[in-house]
């Protein structure tokens, strides 16, 4: 089957495209930038260009779309909310319109655990009310609402996935804790932790697992239309830094730094990923192995 991966030149998009290709699918990539040494056909386009996206989907007989493209950095969305709403919200509508026009069999839309906002009930399940409280959260909640509408009004097979914080090879957004950790460990420095790191709890998921999970949702009949992707292992950022330091046998303690920007963070965010793991009997890569593989990929890139 022909698969279109939007945002294929990005972190998760690259891993997902390569995973689908390894399974024998004809993969096409769509992004605003060209990926060097790409082994499949790729197109440069803005996802807001509905006509161009529809043309590609129709002409290449795309059977499924995995929509990953968007603005992923919370601080960037906080600085430029309008573009966040346009790209993460209306960008999803553009992709769904292309899928509807071409009568695609299935569309997978990657949202985020941040759509839930602050929740008193944690780990949070898929049926929780969305409570976005920042530009990034709202932009992704808009994407979720578009999925709900197209799913119900046009009877389309749309699966929304809400992954937790991803990490692994190829993420060079050093404002994120794990890329920053890899960089500082390589430099012989302490892992940087924001001053309130002991009070901020998050889930983390290895990107290779996330790519495989997207593949399973794409190639199987699913019991549900919304899935959290999480290993149910929330950890404080401070403790995360300590664990990475230990796993990598790094002899420098984490350092405390001031948080950039004034955006509000949810103190304890954790989602329940058992809907997916129970349905697919899925086992995650161990955190120790994932961190070691991640560091080795960064180490090679730094050489």
Complete DSSP assignment for 235-255: EEHHHHHHHHHHHTT--S--E
pLDDT tens digits, residue range 250-261? 999 999 998 776
The pLDDT, as a whole number, for residue 124 is 97
Helices 11-22/207-219 angle, 10° precision: 50
What is the distance between the terminal CA atoms of the chain, rounded to a whole angstrom? Answer: 39
> What is the pTM for the complete model shown?
0.95
Is residue 152 over pLDDT 80? yes
Q: 3-class DSSP state for residue 39?
A: coil
Tell which residue, 218, 208, 225, 221, has the closest CA to residue 283: 208
Per-residue pLDDT of 224-275, as tens digits, reads 999 999 999 999 999 999 999 999 999 999 999 987 766 677 889 999 999 9
> Is the per-residue pLDDT at 9 higher than 90?
yes
pLDDT tens-digit readout, 154-186: 999 999 999 999 999 999 889 899 999 999 999
Average of per-residue pLDDT across 66-85: 93
pLDDT bracket for residue 26 (50, 70, 90): very high
**pLDDT given for residue 83 in this prediction:** 96
pLDDT at 202 over 80: yes
Position 41 confidence tier, pLDDT thresholds 50, 70, 90: very high
Type and span of the H or E element at 29: strand 26-31
Q: Are 88 and 143 in contact (CB under 8 A)?
A: yes
* Span of 22-31, 69-78, 220-229, 277-286 with lowest mean pLDDT: 69-78
Positive or negative torsion for Cα 93, 98, 102, 108:
negative
Q: Which residues contact 298 (CB under 8 A, 6 or more apart)?
A: 169, 179, 182, 183, 186
> In the chain, what percentage of residues exceed pLDDT 70?
99
Strands 64-67 and 165-167, by their bridges, are unpaired
Quick one: average pLDDT of 26-53?
A: 93
Tell me the pLDDT of the chain averaged across its residues: 95
pLDDT at residue 74, as a whole number: 85
Q: What is the pLDDT of residue 175?
A: 86
Whole-number pLDDT of residue 263:
66
Short-list 49, 37, 136, 163, CA closest to 95: 49
**pLDDT 10s digits, 126-137:** 999 999 999 999
By DSSP bridging, strand 204-206 and strand 165-167 are parallel
Rg over alpha carbons for the chain, rounded to the nearest Å, is 19
């Amino acid at each position: 089957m022909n698969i279109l991966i939007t945002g294929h030149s990005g972190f998760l998009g690259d891993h997902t495209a390569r995973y689908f290709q390894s399974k024998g699918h004809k993969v096409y990539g769509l992004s605003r930038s060209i990926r060097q040494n790409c082994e499949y056909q790729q197109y440069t386009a803005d996802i807001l260009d509905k006509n161009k996206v529809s043309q590609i989907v129709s002409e290449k007989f795309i059977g499924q779309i995995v929509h990953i493209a968007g603005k992923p950095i919370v601080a960037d969305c906080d600085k430029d909310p309008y573009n966040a709403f346009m790209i993460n919200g209306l960008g999803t509508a553009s992709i769904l319109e292309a899928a509807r026009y071409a009568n695609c069999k299935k569309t997978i839309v990657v949202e985020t655990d941040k759509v839930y906002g602050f929740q008193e009930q944690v780990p949070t399940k898929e049926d929780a009310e969305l409570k976005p409280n920042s530009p990034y959260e709202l932009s992704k909640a808009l994407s979720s609402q578009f999925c709900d509408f197209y799913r119900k009004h046009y009877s389309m097979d749309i699966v929304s996935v809400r992954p937790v914080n991803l990490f692994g090879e190829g993420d060079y957004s050093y404002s994120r804790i794990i890329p920053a950790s890899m960089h500082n460990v390589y430099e012989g420095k302490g892992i940087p932790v924001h001053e309130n790191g002991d009070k901020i709890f998050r889930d983390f998921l290895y990107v290779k697992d996330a790519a495989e999970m997207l593949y399973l949702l794409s190639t199987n009949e699913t019991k549900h239309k919304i899935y959290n992707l999480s290993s149910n292992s929330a950890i404080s950022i401070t403790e995360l830094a300590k664990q990475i330091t230990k796993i990598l046998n790094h002899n420098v303690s984490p350092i405390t730094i001031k948080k950039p920007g004034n955006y509000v963070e949810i103190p304890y965010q954790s989602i329940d990923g058992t809907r997916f793991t129970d349905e697919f009997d899925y086992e995650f890569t161990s955190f120790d192995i994932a961190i070691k593989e991640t560091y080795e990929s960064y180490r090679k890139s730094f050489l």
